[in-house]
């Protein structure tokens, strides 16, 4: 079991650090929404701090950040990593106009509780601690980097049980970017399934590739304009590079009703 684990029982989900609750989530009857409770103990960072020099050096290199974050998570005392192939990939172009990826909504904690309505069809972005004020010291430092175009990406963990993301590292960078009116750069931590990619290749992509080539050959035999056969061949090539989503549902460890009640008591103490 990882040191930062997802646990579940029916409509109840919890992200825990050992036996301490970090985040509790209760899905409403009818699956209309999600009631959220923040753990009493603020989330401690899993990732060590980095320097402003490092942020400036990797300002245009999200791949370097992805490698660094993955290495730090492997060495961290608090991490959601467990068995399997974990990837850190980009999800939002920081040069775009939207401050958050399309359809994302930043959850706002009020007294340690929040609610997300599934009816909005928005994807919740959940901080694991209350966000700092705009004038906090670390936020001001990140705001300076943001104005320089050197703000480090925010690392989020995709949790399928809540159909959203939780912030692993970068709470103050979110505040900095939003305060400056700049798009927030994100990297997403996901667990990947290579068997799923291979299965889709055999079931969908390979037949589509062969079908497009057969259409190209048939167009040439029928004396069709060369542009038609070329169009089919381009279509065939697109099936070879089609990007398959290999992310897998989040693994969750079982949670008994008694354990859920104990976590609720700890969260509200």
pLDDT at 186: 94
User: Residues 65, 71, 74, 77: what is their CA dihedral angle, to the nearest 10 degrees?
Assistant: -80
Strands (E), 40-178: 85-90, 104-106, 113-117, 123-126, 154-159, 164-169
User: Residues 227, 228, 234, 239: what is their CA dihedral angle, to the nearest 10 degrees?
Assistant: 180
pLDDT band at 242 (very low <50, low <70, confident <90, very high): very low
Helix (H) or strand (E) holding 229: helix 226-240
- Do 156 and 174 form a contact (C-beta atoms < 8 A)? no
pLDDT at 243 over 60: no
pLDDT at 95: 56
Q: What is the pLDDT of residues 12-67, one digit of tens each?
A: 999 998 888 999 999 888 878 899 999 876 666 678 899 999 999 999 899 999 99
pLDDT at 204: 72
Predicted TM-score (pTM) of the model is 0.78
Asked which of 34-48, 137-151, 179-193, 212-226 is least confident by mean pLDDT, the reply is: 34-48
Sign of CA pseudo-dihedral 109, 110, 114, 119: negative
pLDDT at 267: 80
Average pLDDT over all residues of the chain: 85
Which is more confident, 89 or 202? 89
Q: Which residues contact 123 (CB under 8 A, 6 or more apart)?
A: 101, 103, 104, 105, 163, 164, 165
> 257 is written with which tokens?
């009703």
Q: Which of 30-34, 147-151, 204-208, 230-234 has the highest mean pLDDT?
A: 147-151
How many CA atoms lie within 13 Å of 180's alpha carbon, on the beta-carbon side? 22
Q: What is the pLDDT of residues 72-118, one digit of tens each?
A: 999 888 888 887 788 898 865 555 667 998 899 999 998 899 999 98
Mean pLDDT of 185-204: 73
pLDDT at 116: 92
pLDDT at 214: 87
How many CA atoms lie within 13 Å of 160's alpha carbon, on the beta-carbon side? 9
Which is more confident, 253 or 195? 253
């Amino acid at each position: 079991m990882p040191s930062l684990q997802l646990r579940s029982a029916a409509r109840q989900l919890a992200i825990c650090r050992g036996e301490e609750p970090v985040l509790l989530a209760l899905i409403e009857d009818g699956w209309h929404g999600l009631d959220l409770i923040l753990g009493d103990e603020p989330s401690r960072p899993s990732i060590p701090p980095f320097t402003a020099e490092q942020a400036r050096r990797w300002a245009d290199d999200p791949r370097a950040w992805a490698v660094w974050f993955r290495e730090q998570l492997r060495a961290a005392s608090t991490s959601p990593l467990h068995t399997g192939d974990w990837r850190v990939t980009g999800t939002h172009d920081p040069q775009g106009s939207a401050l958050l990826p399309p359809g994302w909504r930043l959850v706002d904690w009020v007294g340690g509780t929040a609610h997300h309505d599934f009816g909005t069809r928005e994807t919740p972005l959940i901080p694991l601690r209350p966000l700092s004020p705009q004038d906090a010291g670390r936020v001001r430092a990140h705001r300076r980097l943001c104005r320089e175009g050197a703000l480090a990406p925010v690392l989020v963990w995709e949790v399928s049980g809540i159909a959203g993301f939780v912030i692993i590292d970068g709470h103050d960078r979110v505040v900095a970017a939003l305060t400056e009116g700049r798009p927030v750069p994100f990297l997403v931590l996901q667990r990947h399934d290579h068997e799923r990619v291979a299965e889709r290749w055999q079931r969908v992509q390979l037949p589509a590739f062969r079908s497009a080539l057969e259409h190209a050959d048939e167009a040439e035999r029928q004396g069709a304009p060369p542009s038609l056969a070329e169009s089919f061949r381009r279509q065939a090539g697109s099936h070879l590079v089609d990007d398959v989503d290999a992310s897998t549902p989040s693994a969750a460890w079982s949670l008994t009703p008694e354990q859920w009640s104990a976590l609720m008591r700890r969260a509200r103490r």
